[in-house]
Amino acid sequence: LHAPASYLSKAFELSRQFFYQWTVNWRCVPESVFLSPAFSVALLVLHVSTVTFYMVRTSRARSLGRPREALALLFGANFIGIAFSRTLHYQFYAWYFHTLPLLLWTSGMPAVLCAGILGTVEFVFNVYPPTGAASLALHAAHAATLLAL
């Protein structure tokens, strides 16, 4: 790994500011909250806590020797990062949309709920400019998915 200290310092640079005007997931909070360092730290703590819980629980419950199970574990960990990210812009949808069908259909949720979540996420990323209502819909879809993981 080339320059690991530099990579880690930039990957978790909590002082970095994002543009509120482009955020799809946090338009439901005031800009002052979105830009606050406390909000960034809270999201990081939630992310690390949730991914740790997920990995411990999932590694006990699944047979990770099978490719589908290992893939679901990796997609789930990636999804947790998405759900707790400081900002999602429109191009981020391309980063995780292809993982949603596997996550949803292996979750045990009814197919109609899975389809509804997929439709909601697709709708939210097609709303321009981003709105608070669309952000809340995205959080509801993400929360339902997280709870099913």
pLDDT of residue 65: 73
Q: How far is CA 16 from the centre of its chain?
A: 19
Per-residue pLDDT of the chain in tens (149 residues, 90 and over written 9) = 688 888 777 766 667 778 888 899 999 999 999 999 899 999 999 999 999 999 888 876 666 677 878 888 889 999 999 999 989 988 889 889 999 999 999 899 999 999 999 999 999 999 999 999 999 999 999 999 999 98
Query: What pLDDT, on a 0 to 100 scale, did the predictor assign at position 12?
Result: 63
The model's pTM is 0.86
Cis? peptide before 129, omega within 30° of 0: yes
Is-contact 140 25, C-beta < 8 A?
A: no
pLDDT value at residue 61: 62
Nearest alpha-carbon partner for 144 in 115, 98, 56: 115
Tokens, residue 110: 């009814």
pLDDT of residue 81: 93
